[in-house]
């Protein structure tokens, strides 16, 4: 009887400890809000650490050659520096790896998917997708989970991250894997750039005079108008946040292509049209965040523009003209081109100013934050 009483007291104590666990400590500077967190995947330090381990673990791929971090490198704001991402088996993706900076706030998670809006669901795509193969785990679920269950590091982390699972073997599920990865991704907050210190931190000298002039051009409705697609504090349009209203993602055709034939964009990259099948959605892609944009070249969904200066040339022209070759066409004449991609006059000095402003969005602390780095090293 005494043993039973002691065991019951231990169970109650453990249950109380779980119930009274402290809330997750966000590292978010004022005045920025917290990202939304789904009710069935509450944040915890243990879950975030498990997700970080998984994010950097090459055993997440069928051949042990890649991890999530292979296409999302911290020093590149969690992009990979390639025009188009390459999967673990060498298969090339039609689009580039998007930055994960502030991804928890985004109402859309990829270049051209208006449907998948939860980080937990999105994590399944690189793990199990086949068009193209990214991590290539389809059909290997049991083997992958067995690897995790045998690892002493994961035994400790899974028990801490999912203490409610019983028996212990039930913790090792794909659902828990993606919950942990999504929790880690929600901590990828980038809000400490020179621009943030200038605009929100009361440091008037954090920005150069050139960057200040570039900010005015960027937000001018009469000139650049860049904010019309890259608005808000995340420079990506509408964001979702804890306690905030539901928001709809925006997608724009920027006149990058104008091909003859059935679609005006290359067949592998017709934007959200691939999901909606609506002709007026051809060429519409999500505007990425401009935070850390100076370290995420090359640019556009397919990496077809090499430098920030060339990106500005494209928008100043109101669309890109390709004179010859398989993609020849006048992008400005694309029938789906967004009205706010209208072109504008820009002097060489103004161009330098806008680039200085864009460079001021680089958050060096984010790019070097050890809490976001590889824990296996």
Distance of CA 341 to the CA centre of its chain: 24
What token pair was written down for 58?
């090459």
Handedness of CA 52, 55, 56, 60 (dihedral sign): positive
With a cut of 50, list the residues of the chain below it in pLDDT: 1-20
Domain ranges for the chain, please list them: 17-189
pLDDT of the residue at 166:
64
Cβ–Cβ < 8 Å for 360, 207: yes
The CATH code of domain 17-189 reads: 1.10.760.10
Three-state DSSP string of 246-311? CCCCCCECCCCCCCCCCCCCCCCCCECHHHHCCHHHCCEECCCCCCCHHHCCCECCCCCECCHHHH
Nearest partner of 56 among 198, 226, 180, 212, judged by Cα: 180
The 10s digit of each residue's pLDDT in 20-78 is 456 899 999 999 999 999 999 999 999 999 999 999 999 999 999 999 999 999 999 99
In DSSP terms, 79 is beta-bridged to 73
Residue 285 backbone phi and psi in degrees, to 5: -130, 160
What token pair was written down for 3?
């043993």
**DSSP letter string, 223-238:** TT-GGGTS-TTTTSS-
What token pair was written down for 311?
């990106």
- Predicted model pTM: 0.93
What token pair was written down for 55?
């994010």
The 10s digit of each residue's pLDDT in 93-134 is 999 999 999 999 999 999 999 999 999 999 999 999 999 999
Nearest partner of 339 among 221, 218, 216, judged by Cα: 221
pLDDT of the residue at 21:
55
């Amino acid at each position: 009887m005494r043993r039973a009483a002691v065991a019951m007291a231990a169970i109650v104590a453990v249950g109380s400890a779980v119930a009274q666990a402290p809330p997750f400590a966000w590292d978010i500077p004022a005045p920025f809000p917290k990202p939304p967190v789904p009710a069935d995947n509450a944040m915890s330090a243990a879950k975030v650490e498990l997700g970080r381990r998984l994010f950097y673990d090459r055993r997440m791929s069928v051949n042990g050659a890649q991890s999530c971090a292979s296409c999302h490198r911290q020093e590149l704001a969690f992009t990979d520096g390639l025009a188009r991402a390459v999967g673990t088996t060498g298969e090339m993706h039609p689009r580039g790896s998007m930055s994960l900076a502030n991804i928890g706030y985004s109402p859309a998670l990829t270049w051209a998917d208006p449907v998948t809006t939860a980080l937990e669901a999105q994590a399944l795509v690189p793990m199990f997708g086949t068009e193209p193969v990214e991590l290539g785990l389809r059909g290997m679920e049991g083997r992958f989970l067995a690897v995790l269950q045998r690892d002493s590091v994961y035994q400790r982390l899974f028990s801490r991250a999912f203490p409610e699972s019983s028996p212990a073997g039930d913790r090792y599920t794909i659902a828990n894997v993606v919950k942990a990865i999504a929790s880690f991704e929600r901590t990828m907050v980038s809000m400490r750039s020179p621009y943030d210190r200038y605009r929100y931190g009361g440091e008037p000298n954090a920005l150069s005079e050139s960057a200040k002039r570039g900010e005015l051009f960027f937000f001018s409705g009469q000139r650049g108008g860049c904010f019309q697609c890259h608005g808000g504090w995340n420079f990506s349009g509408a964001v979702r946040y804890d306690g905030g209203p539901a928001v709809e993602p925006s997608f724009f055709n920027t006149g990058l292509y104008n091909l003859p034939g059935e679609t005006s964009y290359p067949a592998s990259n017709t934007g959200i049209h691939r999901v909606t099948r609506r002709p007026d959605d051809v060429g519409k892609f999500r505007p990425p965040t401009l935070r850390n944009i100076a370290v995420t070249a090359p640019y556009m969904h397919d990496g077809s523009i090499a430098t920030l200066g060339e990106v500005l040339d494209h928008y100043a022209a109101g669309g890109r003209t390709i004179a010859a070759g398989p993609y020849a066409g006048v992008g400005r004449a694309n029938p789906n081109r967004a009205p706010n991609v209208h072109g504008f006059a820009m002097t060489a000095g103004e161009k330098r100013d806008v680039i200085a402003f864009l460079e001021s969005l680089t958050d060096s602390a984010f790019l070097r934050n050890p809490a976001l780095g590889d824990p296996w090293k």
